[in-house]
């Protein structure tokens, strides 16, 4: 099918390249001429595993081309709208880019067009889109509007396209549903077409959920909000583990083994970031307000998440007392591994807070440093984790890149000023660190015994520096006579 994708961001470019890979003729369009020029010469605007080769191969075969939105709209039978919907001051999604694409479609296209809304939008946007296309229609355009939410995760977006958990199609006409089925047929019927695995995950039938446009739009916001809620929930439980002396890893395993709950998204840490969860959660709260529904549950999910940054900084303060003049190595800046995306990254917020307290920061990230430099000047960017750790008072692990899991701790012990690791992602094995003389602080797990010198005094949150002694047992905790 001749398909146009408007918007060459994370979602648009990945969707365009994957649609070309499954055999469609794809025009990927963007208003940013500089971006188009770079794409035409094979340069991607962001890092995403496997996307580079997918774009290059499909561009070389002629199945993927880059062009202006107007040309793409003139030529595509199916038009995927993948433009940005950034948050407004109020938390609502800014739909101006979608509105602008709709007007271009209405004024440019002729004949029939399937208009597919893939950007994350509030419920009832497809209906608005339909009205808008009808109002501005000057060429007798015949069209359908479909909501087809995306569930691609940054860092594994290409794999997610070829092995989706489900495909959701919100449509109001049989013609639209038939065209959507035709577009996704290779993914629905032949997972072996996957370009990234030599052995694909076991073949399962991909559920195709066909519904009305309102429901499809709600699936997207509700899915992201539910996942965000799961993360905030486990972060609360991690706090309880810390306070009670339990191990969040075991607690999460115990909870997640219930099939109704599941193991994924139960990793505690410094909170969720990225350009999806924080903004989608806020947008969903605003949608709830507009619909007259009480979404205070989700407001609390957001509040819990916002507190994670401050709680992590408090952990650093607890270990190092005054941060002014301290050197801190930050390992990881991206909001998650396998991406260079630093938008709403908790690591950057933590770095800002530490800088404000007068700490010196030496940071390393395998992919995200270029993007971080624009947002966070005033810190030292290093070429390796070891270089960042040079004479550091603590190493802070803020993104769970695989290379931070098992570095050469023996070598690092010689480099650092003080052998302390504060792990915001529970990435490391505490025994391994202890064996190399490191004190290891993480999230929601008991600390291994401190080295003797440090053991004499432990900081109590209420009393400040206090000798570590067995607390007197409360009446209820005393052994029965
Ligand atoms: C998310 C959804 O997972 C996708 O399904 C959706 O398509 C996408 O948003 C979107 O709306 O475009 P993404 O933001 O790329 O994908 O990343 P996730 O893997 O969902 O992680 C989001 C954040 O949650 C990260 O900061 C991650 O570190 C954090 N997280 C995740 C945790 O803190 N704990 C976990 O257990 C899982």
Q: Which of 82, 121, 154 to mutate to test the pocket of ligand 1 (most atoms within 8 A of CB)?
A: 154
Q: Look at residues 372, 272, 392, 264 and name the one whose alpha carbon lies nearest to residue 328.
A: 392
Ligand 1 centroid from CA 472, angstroms: 44
Atom 13 of ligand 1, nearest CA residue: 153
Share the mean pLDDT of the chain: 91
Ligand 1 pocket member 154 (CB < 6 A):
yes
How would you class 49 by CB atoms within 10 Å of its CB: exposed for 0-12, middle for 13-18, buried for 19 or more?
Answer: middle
Ligand 1 pocket member 231 (CB < 6 A):
yes
| pLDDT (0 to 100) of residue 195 | 84
Atom number in ligand 1 closest to CA 156: 15
Ligand 1 pocket member 272 (CB < 6 A):
yes
pLDDT in tens, 301-332: 999 999 999 999 999 999 999 999 999 999 99
Which residue in the list 18, 28, 241, 276 is annotated as catalytic? 276
Close Cβ partners of 258 (under 8 Å, ≥ 6 residues apart): none
| pLDDT (0 to 100) of residue 468 | 35
18 is an active site residue = no
Atom 1 of ligand 1, nearest CA residue: 153
Q: Which of 276, 280, 281, 283 to mutate to test the pocket of ligand 1 (most atoms within 8 A of CB)?
A: 276
Ligand 1 pocket member 69 (CB < 6 A):
no
Ligand 1 pocket member 379 (CB < 6 A):
no
Atom number in ligand 1 closest to CA 152: 7
| Pairing relationship of beta strands 464-467 and 457-460 according to DSSP bridges | antiparallel
Q: Look at residues 45, 50, 4 and name the one whose alpha carbon lies nearest to residue 27.
A: 4
Q: What is the mean pLDDT of residues 124-141?
A: 94
Taking 50 as the threshold, does the pLDDT of residue 400 lie above it?
A: yes
Atom number in ligand 1 closest to CA 274: 14
Q: Look at residues 79, 69, 75 and name the one whose alpha carbon lies nearest to residue 33.
A: 69
Q: Using 50, 70 and 90 to split pLDDT, how confident is the model at 451?
A: low
pLDDT in tens, 193-250: 688 887 777 767 899 999 999 999 999 999 999 999 999 999 999 999 999 999 999 9
Ligand 1 pocket member 277 (CB < 6 A):
yes
Ligand 1 pocket member 184 (CB < 6 A):
no
Q: What are the helix (H) ranges across 23-124?
A: 33-40, 51-60, 69-75, 96-108
Q: Using 50, 70 and 90 to split pLDDT, how confident is the model at 117?
A: very high
Tokens of 82: 């993948």
Locate the DSSP E strands across 172-213: 208-211
Q: Look at residues 335, 329, 310 and name the one whose alpha carbon lies nearest to residue 400.
A: 335
pTM of the entire predicted model: 0.91
Taking 70 as the threshold, does the pLDDT of residue 448 lie above it?
A: no
Ligand 1 centroid from CA 349, angstroms: 17
How would you class 113 by CB atoms within 10 Å of its CB: exposed for 0-12, middle for 13-18, buried for 19 or more?
Answer: buried
């Amino acid at each position: 099918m001749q398909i146009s994708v408007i918007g060459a961001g994370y979602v648009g470019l990945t969707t365009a390249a994957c649609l070309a890979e499954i055999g469609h003729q794809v025009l990927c369009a963007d208003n940013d001429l500089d971006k188009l020029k770079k794409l035409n010469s094979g340069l991607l605007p962001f890092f995403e595993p496997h996307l580079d080769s997918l774009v290059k191969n499909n561009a070389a075969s002629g199945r993927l081309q880059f062009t202006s939105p107007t040309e793409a709209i003139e030529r595509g039978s199916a038009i995927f709208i993948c433009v940005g919907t950034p948050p407004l001051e109020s938390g609502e999604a800014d739909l101006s880019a979608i509105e602008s694409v709709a007007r271009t479609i209405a004024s440019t296209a002729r004949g029939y067009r399937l208009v597919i809304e893939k950007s994350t939008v509030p419920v009832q946007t497809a209906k608005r889109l339909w009205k808008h296309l009808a109002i501005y229609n000057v060429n007798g355009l015949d069209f359908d509007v479909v909501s087809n939410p995306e569930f691609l995760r940054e860092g594994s977006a290409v794999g997610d396209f070829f092995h989706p958990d489900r495909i959701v199609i919100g449509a109001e006409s049989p013609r639209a549903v038939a065209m959507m089925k035709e577009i996704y047929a290779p993914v629905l019927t032949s997972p072996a077409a996957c370009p990234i695995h030599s052995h694909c995950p076991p073949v399962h039938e991909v559920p195709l959920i066909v519904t009305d446009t309102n429901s499809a739009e709600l699936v997207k916001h509700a899915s992201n909000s539910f996942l965000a809620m799961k993360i905030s929930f486990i972060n609360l439980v991690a706090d309880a583990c810390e306070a009670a002396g339990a191990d969040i890893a075991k607690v999460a395993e115990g909870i997640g083994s219930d099939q109704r709950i599941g193991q994924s998204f139960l990793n505690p840490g410094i909170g969720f970031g990225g350009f999806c969860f924080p903004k989608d959660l806020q947008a969903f709260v605003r949608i709830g307000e507009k619909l007259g529904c009480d979404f205070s549950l989700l407001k609390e999910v957001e509040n819990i998440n916002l507190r994670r940054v401050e709680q992590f900084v408090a952990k650093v303060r607890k270990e190092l007392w005054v941060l002014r003049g301290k050197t801190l190595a930050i390992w990881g800046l991206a909001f998650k591994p396998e991406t260079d995306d630093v938008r709403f990254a908790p690591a950057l917020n933590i770095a800002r807070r530490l800088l404000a307290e007068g700490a010196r920061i030496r940071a390393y990230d395998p992919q995200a440093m270029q993007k971080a430099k624009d947002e966070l000047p005033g810190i030292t960017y290093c070429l390796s984790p070891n270089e960042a750790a040079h004479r550091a008072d603590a190493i802070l692990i803020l993104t769970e890149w695989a290379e931070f899991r098992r570095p050469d701790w023996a070598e690092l012990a010689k480099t650092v000023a003080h052998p302390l690791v504060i792990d915001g992602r529970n990435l490391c094995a505490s025994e391994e660190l202890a064996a190399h003389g490191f004190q290891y602080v993480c999230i929601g797990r008991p600390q291994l015994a401190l080295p003797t010198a440090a053991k004499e005094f432990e900081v109590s949150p209420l009393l400040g520096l206090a000798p570590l002694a067995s607390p007197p047992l409360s009446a209820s905790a005393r052994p029965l006579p």
